[in-house]
A and B are shown apart, each in its own frame.
Chain A
Amino acid sequence: MLKEKYQAEIDEILSRYPVKRSALLPLLYMAQREEGYVTEAAMQEIAGILKLTPPQVYETATFYTMLNLKPVGKFHLQVCKSLMCALVGSDTVIGWIGAKLGIKPGETTTDKLFTLSIVECLAACGTGPMMQVNDDYYERLTEEKLDRILADLRQTGTSSLKTGPFMWPEPAKPGA
Chain B
Amino acid sequence: MPDQKPETVRLTIDGTTVAVPKGTLVIEAARRIGVMIPHFCYHPKLKPDANCRMCLVEIEKMPKLQTACSTPVAEGMAVRTATTTVDDAHKSVLEFILANHPLDCPVCDQGGKCDLQDFSHQYTPTTSRFTETKRIFQKEYFSPLIETQMNRCVQCLRCVRYCDEIMDVKALAPVGRGTMTEIKHFGPHELDCEFCGGCIQICPVGAITSRLSMYEYRPWMLKRADTICTFCGDGCRITVQTKDNELIEVNSAHGAGRNNGDLCARGFFGFHASSHAGRLTHPLIRREGALVETTWEEALEFVAAQALRLRLAHGPDAFGGLIASRCTNEDLYVFQKFMRQVIGTNRIDSSARYGHLNGIQALRRVQGTHRWTIAFEDIVAANALLLVGTNITETSPITGLKVKEAVKKRQASLVTMETLRPAVDTLSNIANLATQHFQTHPEQFGNTVLGLLKAVVEGHLVDASLAQQSPAFVQRVTEALHGISWETLETATGQPRTQWAETAQLLAKAKRLVVLVGNGILRQPDAEATTTNLLDLLILLGKLDQPGCGLGPLAEENNDQGAVEMGAVAEFIPGPMPLNDQPARDRITSVWREELPRSPGASLPEMLAAADKGALKALFVIGENPVGTLPAAARAKEALAKLELLVCQELFLTETAAMAHVVLPACSYMEKDGTFTNSEGHVQAVRQAINPIGDSRPDWEMVSAISVLMGAPLEYGDAREILKEIRDVIPGYGLLGPTPTPPKVDQSIVTRYLDEGSALDISARYAVHQVVKPADAPFTLVLTQSLFHSGKLSTRSKGLLELQKDGVLSINPSDAATLGLTDGATVRVSNTGGAITTTVKLRERVPAGVLWFPEHFDGEAKELAEWTIDPRTQIPYFKRAHVSLAKVS
Do any beta carbons of A and B sit within 8 angstroms of each other in the complex? yes
Chain B positions within 8 Å of A153 at CB level: none
Tell me the smallest distance from the CB of B279 to a CB of chain A, in Å: 38
Q: Which residue of A lies closest to B170 (CB)?
A: A53
Tell me the smallest distance from the CB of A91 to a CB of chain B, in Å: 23
Chain A positions within 8 Å of B185 at CB level: 55
Residues A48 and B175 in contact, CB atoms below 8 Å apart:
no
Query: CB < 8 Å: which of A48, A53, A58, A63 contacts B187?
Result: A58
Q: Is B432 an interface residue, CB under 8 A from the partner?
A: yes
Q: Is B186 an interface residue, CB under 8 A from the partner?
A: yes
Q: A53 and B176 in contact (CB under 8 A), knowing A40-B187, A58-B186, A58-B187?
A: no
Q: Is B1 an interface residue, CB under 8 A from the partner?
A: no
Task: Determine the main DSSP class of B at the interface with A.
Answer: loop
Q: Is B173 an interface residue, CB under 8 A from the partner?
A: yes
Q: Which residue of B lies closest to A40 (CB)?
A: B187
Q: Is A52 an interface residue, CB under 8 A from the partner?
A: yes
Chain A positions within 8 Å of B64 at CB level: none
User: Chain A 70-83, CB within 8 Å of chain B: the 1/0 string?
Assistant: 00000000000000
Tell me the smallest distance from the CB of B635 to a CB of chain A, in Å: 46
| Bound complex: CA A56 to CA B193 (Å) | 13
| Bound complex: CA A14 to CA B173 (Å) | 24
Residues A52 and B170 in contact, CB atoms below 8 Å apart:
yes
Chain A positions within 8 Å of B170 at CB level: 52-53, 55-56
Residues B432 and A58 in contact, CB atoms below 8 Å apart:
no
Chain A positions within 8 Å of B424 at CB level: 47-48, 51-53
Tell me the smallest distance from the CB of B675 to a CB of chain A, in Å: 39
User: Chain A 36-69, CB within 8 Å of chain B: the 1/0 string?
Assistant: 0000100100011001111110110011000001
Q: Is B174 an interface residue, CB under 8 A from the partner?
A: yes
| Bound complex: CA A53 to CA B170 (Å) | 6
Chain B positions within 8 Å of A53 at CB level: 169-171, 186, 424, 426
Q: Is B177 an interface residue, CB under 8 A from the partner?
A: yes
Q: Which residue of B lies closest to A51 (CB)?
A: B424
| Bound complex: CA A54 to CA B169 (Å) | 11
How many residues of chain B have a CB within 8 Å of chain A? Answer: 17
Residues B174 and A59 in contact, CB atoms below 8 Å apart:
yes
Residues B176 and A62 in contact, CB atoms below 8 Å apart:
yes
Q: Is B25 an interface residue, CB under 8 A from the partner?
A: no
Name the interface residues of A137-158: CB closer than 8 Å to any CB of B. Answer: none
Name the interface residues of B146-183: CB closer than 8 Å to any CB of A. Answer: 169-177
Residues B187 and A59 in contact, CB atoms below 8 Å apart:
no
Residues A55 and B176 in contact, CB atoms below 8 Å apart:
no
Chain B positions within 8 Å of A40 at CB level: 186-187
Q: Which residue of B lies closest to A55 (CB)?
A: B173
Tell me the smallest distance from the CB of A39 to a CB of chain B, in Å: 10
User: Chain B 424-455, CB within 8 Å of chain A: the 1/0 string?
Assistant: 10100000100000000000000000000000
| Bound complex: CA A140 to CA B844 (Å) | 54
Q: Which residue of B lies closest to A39 (CB)?
A: B187
Chain B positions within 8 Å of A58 at CB level: 173, 175, 184, 186-187
| Bound complex: CA A24 to CA B768 (Å) | 45
Tell me the smallest distance from the CB of B138 to a CB of chain A, in Å: 14
Tell me the smallest distance from the CB of A89 to a CB of chain B, in Å: 28
Chain A positions within 8 Å of B844 at CB level: 48
Q: Which residue of A lies closest to B164 (CB)?
A: A56
Looking at B176, B424, B844, which has the most chain A CB atoms within 10 Å of its CB? B424
Chain A positions within 8 Å of B432 at CB level: 51
| Bound complex: CA A52 to CA B171 (Å) | 10
| Bound complex: CA A43 to CA B184 (Å) | 15
Tell me the smallest distance from the CB of B845 to a CB of chain A, in Å: 12
**Chain A contact residues, CB within 8 Å of chain B:** 40, 43, 47-48, 51-56, 58-59, 62-63, 69
Q: Name 27 interchain pairs, CB-CB below 8 A, sorted by A.
A: A40-B186, A43-B187, A48-B424, A51-B432, A52-B170, A53-B170, A53-B171, A53-B186, A53-B424, A54-B186, A54-B187, A55-B170, A55-B171, A55-B172, A55-B173, A55-B184, A55-B185, A55-B186, A56-B170, A58-B175, A58-B184, A58-B187, A59-B175, A62-B173, A62-B176, A63-B177, A69-B187
Minimum-distance CB pairs A-B, first 4: A59-B173, A55-B173, A54-B186, A53-B170
Assuming A40-B186, A58-B186, what are 13 further A-B pairs, CB within 8 angstroms?
A: A43-B186, A47-B424, A51-B424, A51-B432, A53-B426, A54-B187, A55-B173, A55-B184, A56-B170, A58-B173, A58-B184, A59-B175, A62-B176
